[in-house]
Every structure is written in C-alpha cells, then in structure tokens.
C-alpha cells in the first residue's frame, strides 16, 4: 500500500524596523514590534486558527488514520508566545491528539548549515529543546531551512541522531528516478531521505487559485485521480508545503479549506493510500537507492538552490558580514545579544535582498516588507553595524571584568591578601 505524507512548514521571522545610519551606536531596538504583532495576528486569523481547528476535527474524527506533520521554527514559537498565545495553544491541542509529528529544524530558520557547523548544531539542539519543552515531543526527523540539503549536511544531521530528513525532489538530482520512494543518504548509511513531490505539492500550494492554470479549478476528485495514476509500487507521496497555504496564500474563498476538509474522506473511499508520518515512512519502507547530492539544493525558486538567499553580491556581503561575527559570539554571555544574533540569522532577511526577475522576483516581492532589495540590504547592514559595535563593547567589558577578578584571586592565592582582609566591596566582585 502506498502512503501520503503531509508536512507543513510554520515560520515567521522577526522583521526589522526601519533602522537608519544615525541609529547606529544609539539604539539597539532592531525589530518592528507593531509589524510583527500585526502580521502574526493577521495570519492567525486567516490561517493558523481556522486551519488548526479543521485539522483537529479531522484528526479526532479519523482516530489516527489521518496524520500530518509540522516543523515550527523557534522564531515562530517565540512570536506565538509573545503576540498570539491562542495560536500556540491550538498547536498544542493538535499535538495532544497523538496524530501529529513534529520535526526539528534550525531555531532561527537560518542558513547556518552552509555557514558554520558549530552554529548549525547549536541551533538544532536549541530547537529540539524548545519543541520538547513546548509540546513534550522529541523530534526524530529533521527538515533543514527551506529544505536545504547536500551530502555534507545530511552527514551532520545523521551524526546528531536523527533517523532521516526531508528535502526537495529536484529533477537534476533525481534524473529518471521518482520522488515517491525512500532513499538512503550518500554515502550509504542508515540515514533516510524523503523527497518532496513538487508537482503535486505545488498544485495545492501555488496553483490552487490560479484561474489561468489549465487544471483550474482543482477538485478533490481530480486530485485523487492524479494520485491513482501513479505506479502502484511507489511507496510514499510527500506533499510538503507552507502551512500558510491554507487561508493566507490561498484565501478561504478559493475553496482551499473545503479541499483540505474533503481530502481524507476521498482518499479513504477512492484510493488505496494511507496517511503516514515521516518517521513511519522511514521505518516502513526500505530505501530503494542511494541519493547523492554533492551540490546544495532547496525548495525555493525555479533554480531550487541557494540563489534565493545568496544569489547576488548584496546577499553574499550581508551573509559574510553576519557570520564573520561567530567567533566573537562564542565568547558572549549576554542573553539579549545572543537572542538578537539568532533573530538576525533568519533566512528571510537575505531573501528580501533578492534581485531576481520574472516569477521568482514576484514571489520575493510578495513576502518582502521593503520597497526594494537595496533598501532591505541597507537596513539590514545598518542593524548589523550597531550589533557588531554592541557585541565588541560587551566583550571588552567582560574581558576587563575577568582580568580584574583573576588579579584579585591571584593576590589572595599568593597570600599577599587574606580573604578576611579583603574589603567588602572587593569580596562582592569576587
């Protein structure tokens, strides 16, 4: 029997406020509270709350026969806690049904996997800890930011103890192969890979309400027919998409919620498919081949590579400027600075700097809060300039404090000064 694996990405970045050159060195307030709050509340009303309510009804009605999976970035969870606790509660209610699997990712939905192995591991561990503390579930499967993947990343993720990970079923990687199987990561190991069926996923996520599409309108019956035409020996059809597909990218009046509501019943009555979690797919199906991906792929843009975030000199300059600070960051113990460091790593900041044209360019513009990629770059670099100054000042102060404390302790050790004779103020420093 073939299976359907439904996976949804949930992510919101902390968007930056307009930050001018004259703010550098004067203000450490980087994030636009009003914008972030209003966007979370808007998307909650249009997508998260109604979609979660619908999924809850489906999950409880089918009592485990219908299953879905999510990855929820740390920055999204932080914003739910801050701006929309009812959304967080609704996700917790879904997970409590025991029919939802949560996946791990980078805490800040960052590009750390292509920048720093240490930072990558740190963020993944932090995200795993956050998922467990919030939902009581320990992720078994990993999905990297925007399904970014290559052989080296897969090796790192396997070393962290995950069973497998998700990525894009890119044509240039698969060639003649199908994405509807479980694969083994290269080099041969017990680490499995699940590939997005981008055509069937994007029929829902991108084309559903496109009236110029030859298949519009998309009905559940038509979609089931497409599934039934796939070869019977195929193992798992991976339908991976942004959760905001439901209600935000595809508005409610498009019929997207009705489509989701009716899909399970039609799958059960008109096909031989079952629904499955990613970890179950990796356990249930034997990998048919080794997947070798020496060059990095993702699920973004037509190129399905890193060009959505690192495709021009603006993006590369901002990226390099950010990650050159990582050695200093490792010496930092200021929690606010460390929090801002993570939020500044969100891949969205680099996505806004894209200068692509045509269809890809329109998608970038849709998500960007900036009038142009150049303003996105200038704003980000202004913030980063202040952040670097702030970090350096903190490390200087910390170094002086450590040196001062070491000197006093040495004096006491050398018995040049006894503890009893040390003035109260100095003992407090020690």
Which active-site residues does the annotation give?
Answer: 146
- DSSP 8-state class, residue 353: T
Residue with tokens 């979690």: 277
Is residue 414 exposed (0-12), middle (13-18) or buried (19+ Cβ within 10 Å)?
exposed
- The token duo for 154 is 């897969």
Task: Indicate the SS3 state at residue 3.
Answer: strand
What does residue 16 show for φ and ψ, rounded to 5 degrees? -80, 145
Q: What does the alpha-carbon distance between residue 99 and residue 62 come to, in Å, rounded to a whole number?
A: 10
Cβ–Cβ under 8 Å, residues 348 and 333:
no
Cβ–Cβ under 8 Å, residues 395 and 329:
no
User: Distance of CA 140 to CAs 7, 132, 180, 270, 364, Å?
Assistant: 14, 12, 20, 31, 32
Which regions of 144-196 does DSSP assign to beta strands (E)? 164-168, 182-185, 192-196
List, in sequence order, every residue forming a beta bridge with 275; answer none if it has no partner: 4
Q: Where are the alpha helices (DSSP H) in 18-150?
A: 33-43, 49-62, 74-83, 85-95, 117-135
Q: What does the alpha-carbon distance between residue 55 and residue 66 come to, in Å, rounded to a whole number?
A: 9
Longest dimension (CA), the chain: 88
Cβ–Cβ under 8 Å, residues 4 and 273:
yes
Task: Indicate the SS3 state at residue 267.
Answer: helix
Cβ–Cβ under 8 Å, residues 65 and 275:
yes
User: Distance of CA 261 to CAs 62, 69, 256, 381, Å?
Assistant: 12, 16, 9, 45
β-strands 182-185, 164-168: how paired? unpaired
Q: Does the N-terminal peptide bond of residue 187 adopt cis geometry, omega within 30 degrees of 0? A: yes
């Amino acid at each position: 029997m073939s299976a359907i694996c439904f996976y949804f990405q949930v992510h919101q970045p902390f968007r930056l406020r307009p930050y001018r050159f004259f703010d550098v060195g004067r203000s450490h307030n980087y994030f636009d509270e009003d914008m972030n709050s209003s966007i979370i509340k808007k998307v909650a009303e249009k997508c998260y709350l109604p979609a979660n309510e619908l999924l809850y009804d489906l999950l409880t009605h089918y009592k485990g026969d219908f299953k879905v999976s999510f990855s929820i970035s740390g920055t999204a969870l932080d914003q739910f806690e801050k701006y929309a606790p009812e959304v967080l509660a609704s996700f917790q209610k879904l997970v409590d049904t025991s029919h939802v699997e949560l996946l791990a990712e980078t805490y800040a939905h960052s590009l750390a996997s292509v920048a720093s192995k240490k930072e990558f591991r740190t963020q993944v561990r932090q995200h795993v800890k956050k998922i467990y503390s919030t939902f009581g579930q320990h992720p078994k499967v990993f999905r990297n930011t925007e399904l970014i993947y290559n052989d080296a990343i897969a090796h790192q993720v396997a070393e962290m103890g995950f069973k497998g990970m998700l990525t894009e079923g890119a044509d240039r990687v698969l060639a003649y192969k199908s994405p509807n199987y479980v694969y083994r990561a290269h080099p041969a190991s017990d680490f499995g890979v699940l590939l997005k069926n981008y055509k069937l996923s994007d029929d829902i996520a991108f084309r559903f309400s496109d009236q110029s599409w030859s298949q519009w309108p998309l009905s559940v019956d038509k979609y089931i027919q497409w599934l039934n035409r796939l070869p019977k020996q195929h193992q798992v059809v991976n339908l991976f998409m942004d959760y905001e597909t439901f209600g935000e990218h595809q508005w409610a009046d498009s019929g997207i919620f009705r489509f989701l509501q009716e899909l399970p019943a039609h799958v059960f009555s008109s096909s031989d498919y079952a629904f499955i979690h990613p970890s179950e797919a990796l356990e249930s199906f034997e990998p048919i081949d080794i997947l070798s991906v020496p060059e990095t792929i993702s699920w973004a843009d037509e190129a399905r590579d890193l060009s959505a975030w690192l495709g021009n000199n603006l993006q590369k300059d901002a990226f390099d400027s950010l990650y050159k600070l990582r050695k200093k960051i490792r010496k930092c113990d200021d929690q606010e600075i460390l929090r801002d460091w993570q939020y500044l790593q969100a891949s969205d900041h680099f996505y806004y700097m894209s200068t692509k044209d045509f269809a890809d360019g329109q998608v970038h513009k849709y998500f960007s809060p900036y009038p142009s990629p150049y303003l996105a770059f200038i704003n980000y670099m202004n913030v980063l300039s202040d952040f670097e100054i702030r970090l350096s000042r903190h490390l200087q102060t910390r170094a002086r404090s450590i040196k001062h404390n070491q000197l006093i302790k040495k004096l006491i050790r050398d018995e040049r000064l006894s503890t009893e004779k040390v003035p109260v103020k100095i003992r407090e420093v020690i």
